[in-house]
Amino acid sequence: MTWNASLYENKHSFVWQYGENLLEILSPQKGDRILDLGCGTGHLTDRIAKMGATAIGIDNSPAMIAQAKQNYPDVQFEIADGTNFTFSESFDAVFSNAVLHWIKPPEAVINCIWKVLKPGGRFIAEFGGKGNVREIVDAIASTFKENDELNQLAANSWYFPSIGEYASLLEKQGFEVNNAMLFDRPTPLDGEEEGMRNWLEMFAQGIFSDISSDKKEEILCKIEEKLRPKLHQNNTWFADYRRIRIVAKKV
């Protein structure tokens, strides 16, 4: 997955905008040391810093980190692997928005989070849960299946767990899960006709990596055609998001 920071900034601002209400749960305090795991282009990391905490953002995408540093030169950002990161100083909280469905195996991520948290430290996250973008996933899969030369859908890079599955992983690590919820959040996409196309180009790009440009255009048109009756309303495309929200504590 090679992230397009410009497309992310210009067409997918909803990603961090929806994450802002998660900051109310995080409730950063002056003197807190908080890690933003999967910070993207840094908008929420900066919000945390402006609330008085010492905020550090990490992401495995050099393009995203470069954009974050350009956006907020006074905030600390680092390139890091979500399954293998360490810090010499521990954190009061780890925060993550719209990221953990990208990182596998989840056990490795949870272990890293555990290690960098202080005793009593908090883990607050929101990401794609069970059933997330099901209509989109099904449309992609059926379109690929209909094409003889594309008889095998690329490996799904997403991880969408149930509450029970993810809470069990946290508890196995030693976390106390204080709150967990799964909820629907249909999300309007920027651009009247190109909204779904932009979403696919941004978040499903790996599926099309080995397809010629002409064939890719044909496939994208078919996916849009399948999705239009369900996810296009009043000249607006929607993504059928389902989110899982987790609040846990290191005990």
CA dist 209 and 106 (Å) reads 25
DSSP-assigned beta bridge partners for residue 94: 35, 123
CA dist 221 and 181 (Å) reads 35
Cα dihedral 89, 94, 99, 104 sign: positive
For residue 16, give the H/E element and its range.
Answer: helix 14-26
What are the tens digits of pLDDT across the range 173-202?
Answer: 999 999 999 999 999 998 777 899 989 988
Structure tokens at 161: 């767990």
- Mean pLDDT in the chain? 90
What letter represents residue 81's amino acid? D
The residue with greater pLDDT, 91 or 204, is 91
> Is the pLDDT reported for residue 233 higher than 50?
yes
What are the tens digits of pLDDT across the range 148-177?
Answer: 655 445 446 789 999 999 999 999 999 999
CA dist 184 and 68 (Å) reads 29
Contacts of 22 (CB under 8 A, 6+ apart): 95, 97, 124, 126, 245
Residue 67 is classified by DSSP as: H
Contacts of 83 (CB under 8 A, 6+ apart): 103, 104, 105, 108, 109, 112
Give the least confident one: 4-8, 25-29, 78-82, 244-248: 4-8
Task: Tell me the domains of the chain and their CATH numbers.
Answer: 5-132+158-190+241-250 (3.40.50.150)
